Amino acid sequence: MRLSDETRRGLRSRTKLVHSGRDPSEQFGFINTPIYRGSTVLYPDTESLMKRDARFSYGTAGTPTIRNLEEAWSELSGAATTALAPSGLAAIALALFTAAAAGDHVLVCDSVYRPTRNFADGLLRKLGVEIEYYDPVIGAGIERLMRRNTKVVFLEAPGSHSFEMQDVPAIAEIAHRAGACVIMDNTWATPIFFPPHERGVDLAVEAGTKYLSGHSDLLLGLVSANAAWAKARCATPSR
Ligand SMILES: Cc1ncc(COP(=O)(O)O)c(C=O)c1O
């Protein structure tokens, strides 16, 4: 049986880890969601096809397996919604493409995971996004770097390799005042040790490839969003 939303909100992380994203009543009592594989989904009739209100419409738009993991991650992260990506770097790209466009200025912490830097310096610059790196211990001093066209502040704390911690709430407050989106790579801490959305992060990225899967045998990325960014979309055609 599915627990009510209210009951779920009061649960501790350990209990959430056991219950989240699972609905045995929908799968003959079996605890874990089976792996659904497929592309086309059949509608019962033309009317329901025209209404487009089915829970599942096509494999690339989600399956019960994907949806349940997204739900579990949203619960653990305190997010309004979550989208999965094929890898951590793909999740970083998804978040940045969602919030930045040509002509925007993007602030990225200097301690960022190297492939994120390569993506920003390569593809984002090529698409007309201006990238500037900031000292990860800058805290509220980030105000000096904000410009009229600053649309994203990208944090990673602790930062890859050098492990600086950042004053996330202070940076988020200043970014929000300037109308910028706060994206954070939260891979190292995970939402168990750092609740990103409670601290002001709009889009939190997790390389599920790391601690979340834990056995070096899969690639996975997750982007969780707070309510303000839950409806934002990357510029891809929706189904
Ligand atoms: C902090 C951090 N972010 C992102 C990634 C990227 O994850 P993936 O290897 O799934 O692309 C990694 C992987 O090492 C990482 O350590």
Counting the structural domains of the chain, the total is: 2
Residue 83 sits in the same domain as residue 65: no
Residue 114 sits in the same domain as residue 202: yes
Distance (Å, whole) CA 195 – CA 4:
22
Tell me which residue of 123, 96, 125 sits closest to 185, measured CA to CA: 96
Distances (CA, A) of 79 to 5, 131, 141, 200, 226: 13, 27, 28, 11, 5
Tell me which residue of 127, 147, 77, 158 sits closest to 235, measured CA to CA: 127
Residue 30 sits in the same domain as residue 88: no
Asked if the structure places residue 36 within a domain, the reply is yes
108 Cα: distance to centroid of ligand 1 (angstroms): 16
Picking from 36, 53, 70, the residue at the C-terminal end of a domain is: 70
CA dihedral 113, 115, 117, 118 (to 10 degrees): 170
Residue 166 sits in the same domain as residue 110: yes
The helix/strand/coil state of 155 is strand
Q: Can you give the residue range of the structural domain that contains 116?
A: 79-229
Specify the higher pLDDT residue, 153 or 3.
153
Query: Tell me, what's the pLDDT at 237?
Result: 47
| Bridge partners, residue 156, by sequence | 185
Query: Tell me, what's the pLDDT at 235?
Result: 54
Q: Per DSSP, which regions of the chain are E strands?
A: 81-85, 105-109, 130-134, 150-156, 181-185, 203-207, 221-225
**CB under 6 Å to ligand 1: residues?**
87-89, 113, 160, 185, 187-188, 207, 209-210, 219, 221
Q: Report the atom number in ligand 1 closest to the C-alpha of 160.
A: 1
Residue 93 sits in the same domain as residue 182: yes
pTM metric for this prediction: 0.93
What's 207's domain CATH number? 3.40.640.10
β pairing state of 203-207 and 221-225: antiparallel
**Which of 104-108, 210-214, 219-223, 235-239 has the weakest average pLDDT?**
235-239
Asked if the structure places residue 236 within a domain, the reply is no
10 Cα: distance to centroid of ligand 1 (angstroms): 31
Instruction: With cut-offs at 50, 70 and 90, classify the pLDDT of residue 239.
Output: very low
**157-194 confidence digits (pLDDT tens):** 999 989 999 999 999 999 999 999 999 999 999 999 99
Query: Tell me, what's the pLDDT at 2?
Result: 60
Asked if the structure places residue 164 within a domain, the reply is yes
Specify the higher pLDDT residue, 7 or 143.
143
Asked if the structure places residue 85 within a domain, the reply is yes
Mean pLDDT of the chain: 93
Specify the higher pLDDT residue, 236 or 53.
53
Residue 127: which residues within 8 A CB-CB, separation 6 or more? 102
Mean pLDDT of 4-10: 73
**18-62 confidence digits (pLDDT tens):** 889 998 999 999 999 999 999 999 998 999 889 988 889 999 999
The helix/strand/coil state of 46 is helix
**Which of 47-61, 66-80, 82-96, 172-186 has the weakest average pLDDT?**
47-61
Query: Tell me, what's the pLDDT at 10?
Result: 80
Picking from 51, 70, 89, the residue at the C-terminal end of a domain is: 70
Distance (Å, whole) CA 10 – CA 16:
9
Query: Tell me, what's the pLDDT at 46?
Result: 92
Asked if the structure places residue 235 within a domain, the reply is no
Residue 181 sits in the same domain as residue 132: yes
Query: Tell me, what's the pLDDT at 70?
Result: 96
Whether 184 and 173 have beta carbons less than 8 Å apart is answered as: no
Please say if the pLDDT value at position 13 is more than 90. no
Residue 195 sits in the same domain as residue 214: yes
Bond into 237 cis (ω within 30): no
Q: Whose CA is nearest to atom 6 of ligand 1?
A: 88
37 Cα: distance to centroid of ligand 1 (angstroms): 26
